[in-house]
Amino acid sequence: MECGLIGVQGSGKTTLFQALTSHAVEVQVGSMKPNLGIADIPDPRLQRLAVHIPPDKIVPATLQVVDIPGVPDGGGATALNAVLSSIRTVDAVCQVVRCWDDVGLGPADPVSDIAALEMELVLADLVVAEGGADKAKRAARSGDRDAKQRLEVLEKSCALLGEETPLRQGTWDDAELALLKSYGMITAKPIMYVANVGEDGVTSETEAAKAVAEAAASRGGVSVSLCATIESEIAELDEADRGDMLESMGISEPALGAFARAANDLLGLTTFYTAGEKEVRAWVITQGATAPEAAGAIHSDIQRGFIRAECYHVDDLDELKSEKAIKEAGRLRSEGKGYTMQDGDVVHYLFNV
């Protein structure tokens, strides 16, 4: 699953990308190729588990992020098409929105920035929908049933997009959403907005950040507020020094944790854990996954030879302090193949291959 970062020029999305990836990716400045990276998902529950089950190492879950270049002034159709192609391949979109005043760029205008980029994406999808509808219409005349179904969805898309409405705000069933995905419809993808504030907006909500939150809510998206510059600086520090910087700024945890968790929710993902002396580890799976499907995230042999899953919740360990106490209190659950994994489950798998 990939989350694509987009934004108008000067929004700070590449700075956010560098923060998310801890500066591990060499960024190509001015290139029209996207930057690809893996971001660790900060997760306080991992530390809570490690207090009671001290491991040799702690392994966080990860999120794939793509820093998609913006279209430079005068970039032309070729540059625009390259950018749009990159956005069409990601699973979710994150628009980074500038929420600080800049001498060169002028006062922050988040509502305008969101609307301007949204309009570009709506128009791009309209071109695809109209072209697809023309082809489907010709095929439908010959009695092609699949073409008729495609035509219905594409004509509905054209109507929405013609009214300047993103496709995610329409009503679609699963089959229709799958069809929209096959066409790479950008405005059908789930979206998150990042209010990228200045340093003075880290500990208090600014008017610009409020405007982003309101715009997100009206568009069926979610929003997160952070300062990409500060997050980037934190990411460059040694682990031991990060806590001191956070404390000096009155911040409880890096905002990247909230960002990554919101992105997981946006992508329809959830987290479970395995815990032992060797490692405490977070695993990301699709919401609604069964216990055997979750086992497959660890290893295909565990899924193939699944017998049962012994589960408890992270909160149980916080309360009772040990797995032995959890078992004695009757909180250790034995779950079979039909069990749907819950966010925060800690699991021991029994399997035989």
Token code pair at residue 101: 């005043």
323: enclosing H helix or E strand? helix 323-328
Q: What is the radius of gyration, based on Cα positions, of the chain?
A: 23
- The answer to whether 117 and 194 are in contact (CB under 8 A) is no
- Of residues 208, 182, 202, 193, the one with CA closest to residue 249: 202
Alpha carbon distance 48, 108 (integer Å): 39
Token code pair at residue 302: 């565990």
10 Å CB burial of residue 195 (0-12, 13-18, 19+) is: buried
Measured in residues, the chain has a length of 353
Q: pLDDT per position in the chain (353 positions), as tens?
A: 889 999 988 899 999 999 999 888 888 777 778 999 998 888 889 999 999 999 999 999 998 999 998 765 555 677 788 889 999 999 999 999 999 998 888 999 999 999 999 999 999 999 999 999 999 999 888 888 889 999 999 999 999 999 999 999 999 999 999 999 999 999 999 999 999 999 888 877 899 999 999 999 998 889 999 999 998 998 888 877 887 888 887 777 777 788 888 888 888 899 999 999 999 999 999 999 999 999 999 999 999 999 999 999 999 999 999 999 999 999 999 999 999 999 999 999 999 98
**Domain residue ranges of the chain, discontinuous segments joined by +:** 2-41+63-107+192-265, 115-188, 288-351
Q: Which residue has the tokens 């798998």?
A: 349
- Of residues 272, 275, 230, the one with CA closest to residue 254: 230
The torsion angles phi and psi of 133, rounded to 5 degrees, stand at -65, -40
- The answer to whether 228 and 12 are in contact (CB under 8 A) is yes
Q: Which residues pair with 35 in a beta bridge?
A: 67
- Of residues 274, 239, 228, 279, the one with CA closest to residue 97: 228
Q: Span 288-351: which CATH code?
A: 3.10.20.30
At 165 the three-state DSSP class reads coil
Transcribe 21-44 into DSSP letters: TTT-S---TT-SSPEEEEEE---H
* CA pseudo-torsion sign 335, 343, 178, 183: negative
65: enclosing H helix or E strand? strand 62-67
Q: Which residue has the tokens 């909160």?
A: 315
According to CATH, the superfamily of the domain at 2-41+63-107+192-265 is P-loop containing nucleotide triphosphate hydrolases (3.40.50.300)
DSSP label of 186:
G
Alpha carbon distance 84, 52 (integer Å): 48
According to CATH, the superfamily of the domain at 115-188 is Obg-related GTPase Ych/YyaF, coiled-coil domain (1.10.150.300)
